[in-house]
Amino acid sequence: MVKIKTVSVYCGSSLGKEKIYLDKATELGEVIVEYHMSLVYGGGNIGLMGAIANTVLQKGGKVTGVLPHFLNKKEVGNLDVDELILVESMHERKKTISDLSDAFIAMPGGFGTLEEVAEMLTWTQLGLSRKPIGLLNVDGYYDHLLAQFDHMVAEGFLKKENRQMVLDDPEPGRLLKKMLAYIPVKTPKWLHSDQT
């Protein structure tokens, strides 16, 4: 089992079309506080991002936002969080979030969410991280992506053990339990080689 004190949540800066997305963002925020974890996220006050952060705050949990200066100038930063870290770039934002977090959850979102979770999966595949990564598969939102991962295995572009790095569940509580029970994949042998 892994210890998770701080969880990062990647999610949309919009609410999506269906009410269930907001409901699950609120529920995830509540579960994070129930598990005595703190939240690290992209620092915004809009969409699912704002909803989950505000829920954690309302329930008495700790929230750290990480936001690039250029987005803060557009007044999308959540000034109510316990700590708002302003950084120079999106790359610095992702690294800061990664450094501050013990685990990562992707809720429904767009290109940004997909890119952030894909980068963490890549880092884990390369042995640069051993932290659990989960998809909160609200209402089947990630069904097609999970099927694509299976297709990548079938076609020989993704190893089966690396596919198993992706934890998923439609329910926040069950997903966090899976993440707490996560056993990191072994670092690839070629990374231990003295050859370059």
Residue 189: the pLDDT is: 62
Residue 195: the pLDDT is: 39
Q: Maximum distance among all alpha carbons in the chain?
A: 53
Mean pLDDT of 23-39: 98
In a domain, 117, yes or no: yes
In a domain, 189, yes or no: no
Contact present, 44 and 71 (Cβ < 8 Å): yes
Is pLDDT at 113 greater than 90 in this prediction? yes
CA dihedral defined by 176, 111, 12, 2, rounded to 10 degrees? 20
In a domain, 192, yes or no: no
In a domain, 56, yes or no: yes
Mean pLDDT of 76-91: 88
Domain count, the chain: 1
- The strands making up 6-10's β-sheet, listed across from edge to edge, are 83-87, 63-68, 38-41, 6-10, 103-106, 133-136, 166-169
In a domain, 71, yes or no: yes
What CATH number corresponds to the domain at position 20?
A: 3.40.50.450
Is pLDDT at 196 greater than 50 in this prediction? no
pTM score, two decimals?
Answer: 0.92
How far is 113 from 106, CA to CA, in rounded Å? 7
Is pLDDT at 95 greater than 60 in this prediction? yes
- Full residue range of the structural domain in which residue 56 is found: 6-183
User: Percent helix, strand and coil across the chain, each rounded to 5?
Assistant: 45, 15, 35
In a domain, 92, yes or no: yes
In a domain, 45, yes or no: yes
Mean pLDDT of 59-65: 97
In a domain, 193, yes or no: no
Q: Which of 30-34, 72-76, 79-83 has the lowest mean pLDDT?
A: 72-76
Mean pLDDT of 39-63: 95
Is pLDDT at 77 greater than 90 in this prediction? no
Place of tokens 């598990």: 35
Residue 37: the pLDDT is: 97
Count of residues making up the chain: 196
Q: Where does the pLDDT of residue 73 fall: very low under 50, low under 70, confident under 90, or very high at 90 and above?
A: confident
